[in-house]
Structure 1
């Protein structure tokens, strides 16, 4: 058993749920949150302290952090997991939808970090920001999602140096494909766009990736990502970045290639689409 406390966003399914279950198994006090608290009642039955939390709501963020302050007075780990993927050619994505993507994936973690840092300083805790390999490498059709994850990575790098004097760690978790409903929602978001005729090959590549990624041998499980998060939160000197899975490590290395080489690969994809 431990007296440590963790706050996790996006616990209704996938990585967030697996992370909450793993921290519970290790005896942490777990604040598991989701936009709809009814989606995580089973986590409450397992011992988690559950709450409704929409990361785009300043009031929700303040209420949950105030609750932790009242009940515990400190916070050992914040896991910014809530997020979704918006895919499509940038020309076809309205600015309002791009804003919504950043509101959840970038502004949401920023809201939580600002509110939680006073409690994290007390515990000398850890911020775990769940990014993606697409926070290191952008592909056609992924500009909106990658843009949000690139931003999260940049903010994390700056934050890490800013809070180092307070012994607060900042960690980026960078999964590749994961066996969750993420790709299904990403495909749905792309279907809601009004496509032109100029980017048929981009939409075909999005459809292909959302169809096959969940069944690839390189796909990680939510439990594997959760284990990485838990390990990062449990050590005294965590790494700054944790690529999760073989595909993630490969993509990180691919980022070292010259831009023109990667562009040529995308060109081949376009010609064969």
Structure 2
């Protein structure tokens, strides 16, 4: 009996309530810990996968967009073969020797004629760069729909052989990444442009890195020069990496070869 005369009884409801609260608190703590661990693990896995994907793209380029470009190149191969079959070049003079000035004049005439007829997005030739392991169809245009098919000639520039700037752009991480390792090109490396009217071989002379908004690089200075351009650094588009090359040899479809004046 208590001093007040009331019997002391066990307070079971209060004890049970306290035990339940403690159990719920522990369960909540464990659940939060599990969520935190799971979230942390997920972030780590995602980060590792992202790094692995970045490495794959850096090393071998994006495999998904590359499949699309490979299909486009295969599809356009027949289109370009038809262009070559139906092209009728200007006959060269039937003389033992032809002045280089006349050879270049004939070449420039062919190039101008071909440029007038070339449609945006169509294959206009082939580009071969041994150092890059590159052998692809060259597309007319540098808009998105053209560059997903392969490296493209900027339509604001000229055709090979016109004696002016030939500006060619290409992707660096996606769509077969034709210019992925453009920064590995060195002076003397060869760039070959195979056109229906002639095959032109160029030798690399150097490179520049310019701001992505610098349009001065499209200015032609009345001499034949090829510019190969890609975004720089890789995975970013803040600058442009441009490789310059000068012509060293021209071969007409009949096999006649000459060294152009530069």
Could you say whether these structures have the same fold, taking a TM-score greater than 0.5 normalized by the shorter chain as the test?
Answer: no
Q: More helix per residue: 1 or 2?
A: 1
What is the TM-score of this pair, normalised by structure 2? 0.25
TM-score, normalized by length of structure 1?
0.24
Relative to total residues, which structure has the larger strand share, 1 or 2? Answer: 2
**Structure exhibiting the larger radius of gyration computed from Cα positions:** 2
